Amino acid sequence: MTAARIDPEAAAARLTEATGRPLEPDAAFAVYRLGRSAFQAAVVRRFGHAHVIVAERSAAIGGAEFDGLLLAYLSGRHPDAGVRLWARIDDPADPADRKLRELLLQKITQAREALSDRDFTVMTLPAADVKLPLTREELESRIEELVEGTASLLEEALGEAMVAPGALAGVLMAGGAARTPLVAATLRRRLGVEPVTAAAGGVLAVEQPPAETRELDMVEEEPAARRRGGRRALAVVAALAVVVAAGAAFGTRWGDEEASQGGVGGAESAPAAAVEPEPTTATASPSTSPSEPSEGPETAASPSPAPADDEPEEPSRDEVTEEAERPTSERPATGAVPDLIGLSTADARRAVEEAGFADVEETGKWRSALDFTYDDCEVIEQDPAAGTTRPLSETVAVTFSYNGDASECEE
């Protein structure tokens, strides 16, 4: 899935365009971006000819959340519009009700944007024969708390970067929702700096996480299993060496006693055989003389070489581990393309990722503000077609509809 973050080089270019002056060496500036569904703040510093983000913050706050708050406010502010109408909008039960809710949210977005340049506007719903007035003061009272929260996040980033607001070379605002007059007024009051608005072009860069991330985890599991097996084998060899040394010591002592005691050696050897019930005593048998009949107990113990049995068991456990791991590393080469038509771009990206495909290629198709055929960011075309079986390494291409800032649909 694609992700978007502030591009420091693009932000520096937008700030230079807005202020008309280049950044000085080692200068720092702040970026405040408020889009449709996400907020990002960053502190960027110039190092030589490069610009680097030294601190950043983000939150799931944007114009869509503003619109949701306004919808809740309007339903309580204008109950005379009809209980049935608000019930249909608050809890849509069928496609017609959902379409009505989407239409009203679109009208709210347009009204919010219009209030950036005026103090009063009226929303009309021809399908329900309803007119809903809204003032800038009402708008700002609904979204003030969220805007203050974004300003706090920007101040946190400044604190982390150890840059005082007065030392900033500028504050750059970007994103459609940042054009709300309340945003500039809040930043001006809290930072003591006059913010500027980025021109068209945007300040975001799309990042693509590496597709092989899931495979890398599987590659590292197999060597780890071998290392564990190697350690167990080394431990068995070390234990065997200790037992061999101990057996050799016992064998030498037994031989000395036999030489000194003559005929009593057979009776003396019985305790030695009792001391050596461990399977590893098979290695001690070569120290005795095969011509002496009194060594019968020792030769009876020697046919149970447990260490020789342990050595083949270790590879078999590794083989079991490898057999258990092998199916998880095998992944299907093809898959069915999901149906993306009618989804938002965010939902489409999730659907493609869940289906296992490599990536989504997104293309925006502009429509006028008076065209209500589609919603903002709604997928209207896709290739390959839904239901077709394609290699998972392929990219699924989608076309989405928009009438504002296309980059807001790519977040």
Looking at per-residue confidence, does 80 or 388 come out higher?
Answer: 388
Starting at the edge strand that comes first in sequence, how are the strands of the sheet with 50-59 ordered? 50-59, 39-47, 28-34, 171-174, 196-197
Question: Which of 36-40, 121-125, 151-155, 239-243 ranks highest by mean pLDDT?
Answer: 151-155
Range from 66-70, 131-135, 199-203 carrying the lowest mean pLDDT: 199-203
pLDDT tens-digit map of 163-190:
999 999 999 999 989 999 999 999 999 9
Please compute the mean of the pLDDT values over residues 135-150 and round it to a whole number: 96
pLDDT tens-digit map of 372-388:
677 888 899 999 988 88
pLDDT value at 213 more than 60: no
pLDDT value at 214 more than 80: no
Provide the H-helix boundaries in 115-180.
136-161
Q: Residue 232: name the closest of 156, 147, 313 by CA.
A: 313
Please compute the mean of the pLDDT values over residues 152-159 and round it to a whole number: 96
Q: What is the pLDDT of residue 43?
A: 97
Amino acid at 235: A
Domains, the chain, in order of start with CATH, read 1-210 (3.30.420.40), 222-329 (no CATH), 332-410 (3.30.10.20)
Report residue 401 CA to chain centroid gap.
Answer: 27
DSSP count for the chain of H helices, then E strands: 11, 14
Q: Which long-range contacts (CB under 8 A, 24 or more apart) does 230-234 make?
A: 232/314, 233/311, 233/314
Does this model's pTM top 0.75? My answer is no
Structure tokens, 5? 């973050």
d(CA 28, CA 20): 16
pLDDT value at 310 more than 60: no
d(CA 255, CA 1): 76
CB atoms inside a 10 Å sphere around CB 66: 22
In sequence order, what are the residues at sequence separation of 6 or more whose Cβ sits closer than 8 angstroms to the Cβ of residue 231?
A: none
pLDDT value at 205 more than 70: no
User: In this structure, is the dihedral angle defined by the CA atoms of residues 53, 56, 58 and 63, taken in order, positive or negative?
Assistant: negative
